[in-house]
Structure 1
Amino acid sequence: MKIPLGILLPENQTQKSDIQKFLSENSYLITVGDRTTEKMINFGLIPSLQIIDGQEKREKRDPPKLDNAIELTVDNPAAEITSQSVSTIKKAFTMKSPVRIFVNGEEDLLVLPVCVHAPENSIVMYGQPHEGLVIVSITTEIRNKAQSLLDLME
């Protein structure tokens, strides 16, 4: 995922006020990654769906703190997207939020099935290592692009 799917906010422009410009009142916020999830929770912007793996830049870390989230767990090896991960993501979208998916393995590529299956008013956020925060508004164009990338991986 070297090329961001959405808008890349440089690290120095990822304050709450910068991020809120991309959210509407009824946005369904989705975060992929521990640091991104933690940052949003600290801003008081609780993601409806959070996908984490307990790591940051391949280093173990404590998961972001959050009370009363529904927790699901999936196995998803690095550089893969398992069918279990995709079905768990789809299931999470039908549940009362916040929902947290804890990934045994790596969560990075799960941005793709999230973008394909996310509800209409979704905003997906994930970190671009050493660069900043990527913010993706889900549109038909983004869904098609994510699906094309998924198809290439099969």
Structure 2
Amino acid sequence: MHSVGLIGGTFDRFHAGHLSLLQSGLSECSSLEVWLTSDAATGTKDPRINPWETRAGEMREALGQDAERVSMHVLEDNHGPASTHTDASAIVCTAETRPECEIINRMRGDNGLDELAIIEAEHVLAWDGDPISSTRIRNGEIDREGLPWIPDSVREGRIILTPEVEAELKEPFGLLVPGPEDDPSVAMSEVLAHTEWEWGPIIAVGDVTVRALQDLGRPADIALVDGRTRREPWEGAEGLDPSAYDGVLHCESPAGSLTPSLLEACEHAVSSWMESRATHLIEVDGEEDLAPLLLHPLAPLDSVVLYGQPGKGVVVRWCSEEAKQRCRRLLSGFKPAD
């Protein structure tokens, strides 16, 4: 058993893989020094990475009683104190970070210190066989246990809204930005002022919402329309400009239900934006009202989902893990179509 082991990393969105890594270290070390990347360093990597205190707090909570054996420190560079540490005798890593550990050991040799024993932990795999990672969580692909956000039932066939789920959807899911019904640009201008610097895509659901963004010169990155408002044909839909988008997708989704066709279109639009920032207009044969229940689970964290609230204004919801959890739960409450 080693007296002191070292671990370094960002440890954002503390997940099952992080816990396994620490448990591997604790199984061979009496105590661990965990060096978490500083806020200054993470800010240049991905602005969605949580602050140091949040990351450290999540780690302490996940460790439970084992937290007494772990001390946490701020990592300002790639190697921290590992090359000069005189008390540590081990370092914990994964296969990807092992080369850095070998560099550290060479540096220790140059400093006249013994090499650190390298404890290599196995990856924890997500549902799809790929490793769980903070990047995948921030990109909206998986939750912290490596599970998908979209229930299998959504992929297997059309699912129908139940009265129980419908009751939960009565209240606006997000921040209501009020504005006059005859001039949606008023509310939308305020929305854009709040979302201008967000990292993720702006996703708009509904013809009036999509048209308002287009008229303001800032088309949505992903837009869903069905040619209707309040379930009636809307003449303003003729002013929608498909050429404002990099691509146009078509799908079917009858009123009061969600379909694999709609899911596939949303998945394609989100993945295209993630890969190349390509924008898409999704034209839905049926209704797009329930699409936010798919878009939140699919979208990267810090995306913005907008939809109109007739007679009231625009509802804004930032995509978060909490939003994804709520949508997954609601989707599980739908019933299969006959």
TM (norm. structure 2) is 0.43
Q: Which stretches of structure 1, 4 residues or more, deviate above 2 A after TM superposition?
A: none
Distance in structure 1 (CA, Å) of the matches to 2:209 and 2:244: 19
1:143 Cα deviation (Å)?
A: 0.6
Compared CA separation, residues 87 and 46, structure 1 to 2 (3 A) = same
Contact conserved, 2:201 with 2:303, CA < 8 A, in 1?
A: yes
Higher share in helix: 2
The alignment status of 1:30 with 2:211, answered yes or no, reads: no
**Per-residue deviation, 1:84:** 1.5
C-alpha displacement at 1:7, in angstroms?
0.4
Q: Where does 1:1-154 land on structure 2 (aligned, <5 Å)?
A: 1-12=169-180, 14-24=187-197, 26-61=199-234, 62-63=237-238, 64-69=240-245, 70-95=247-272, 96-154=277-335
What SS is found at the alignment partner of 1:121? coil
Q: 1:33-83 CA distances to partner (integer Å, 9 max, x unpaired)?
A: 000011111112221100100111122132422424211110100000011
The answer to whether the 8 Å contact 1:23/1:123 transfers is: no
After superposition, give the CA deviation of every residue in 1:120-143 in whole Å (9 maximum; x if it has no partner): 231000011222110000000011
Aligned-partner Cα distance in 2 for 1:68–1:43: 12
Task: Provide the secondary structure at the position in 2 that maps to 1:4.
Answer: coil
State how far apart, in whole Å, the 2-side matches of 1:11 and 1:17 are: 9
Give the superposed CA RMSD.
1.7
Q: Which moved more, 1:90-99 or 1:34-43?
A: 90-99
Q: How many residues align?
A: 154
Q: Is the 8 A contact 1:74 1:102 kept in 2?
A: yes
**Could you tell me whether the CA contact under 8 Å between 1:76 and 1:105 is conserved in 2?**
yes
CA contact (8 A) 1:31 1:124 kept: yes
Distance 1:91-1:30 versus aligned 2 partners, 3 A rule: same
- Rounded Cα–Cα distance in structure 2 between residues aligned with 1:53 and 1:2: 21
What residue number does 2:48 align with? Answer: none
Q: Which runs of 5+ in 2 are unaligned?
A: 1-168, 181-185
Larger Rg: 2
* Whole-angstrom distance in 2 between the partners of 1:59 and 1:112: 22
1:23 & 1:2 partners in 2: Cα distance? Answer: 28
Farther-moved stretch of structure 1 (10-19 vs 43-52): 10-19
Work out which structure has the larger RCO, using CA pairs closer than 8 Å and 6 or more positions apart in sequence: 1
Question: Which stretch of structure 1 is more off in the superposition, 119-128 or 136-145?
Answer: 119-128
Write the letter of the residue equivalent to 1:90.
Answer: E
Distance 2:315 2:220 in 1: 15
Normalised to the residue count of structure 1, the TM-score between the two structures is 0.91
Displacement of 1:18 after TM fit?
A: 4.5
Query: Is the 8 Å Cα contact of residues 188 and 314 (structure 2) preserved in structure 1?
Result: no
Relative to structure 1, the CA distance from residue 126 to residue 66 in structure 2 (aligned partners, 3 Å threshold; closer, same or farther) is same
1:73, 1:2 → 2: CA distance? 28
Identity among equivalent positions (%) equals: 27
Asked if the contact 2:179–2:187 (Cα under 8 Å) also holds between the matched residues in 1, the reply is yes
Distance 1:7 1:112, change over 3 A: same
